[in-house]
Amino acid sequence: ATIVSLEDFEQRLNQAIERNAFLESELDEKESLLVSVQRLKDEAR
């Protein structure tokens, strides 16, 4: 039973790591979009 729960834990951990990486890339994309929007606003003045 211990081995099974260890494998389960490892799988959950890997899923969490993948999700975290995905969210980080989403945040990076959002940040660069905000920078672009600000630059466009500045150019429009």
Report DSSP letters for 1-45, one per residue.
-HHHHHHHHHHHHHHHHHHHHHHHHHHHHHHHHHHHHHHHHHHH-
Q: What's CA 24's distance to the chain center, in Å?
A: 3
Q: What is the pLDDT of residue 3?
A: 76
- Residue 38 CA to residue 9 CA, distance in Å, equals 43
Does the pTM of the predicted model rise above 0.85?
Answer: no
- Residue 14 CA to residue 4 CA, distance in Å, equals 15
Write out the chain's pLDDT in tens, 45 residues. 677 799 999 999 999 999 999 999 999 999 999 999 999 999 999
Q: What is the pLDDT of residue 1?
A: 60
Q: What is the pLDDT of residue 4?
A: 79
Q: What is the pLDDT of residue 13?
A: 97
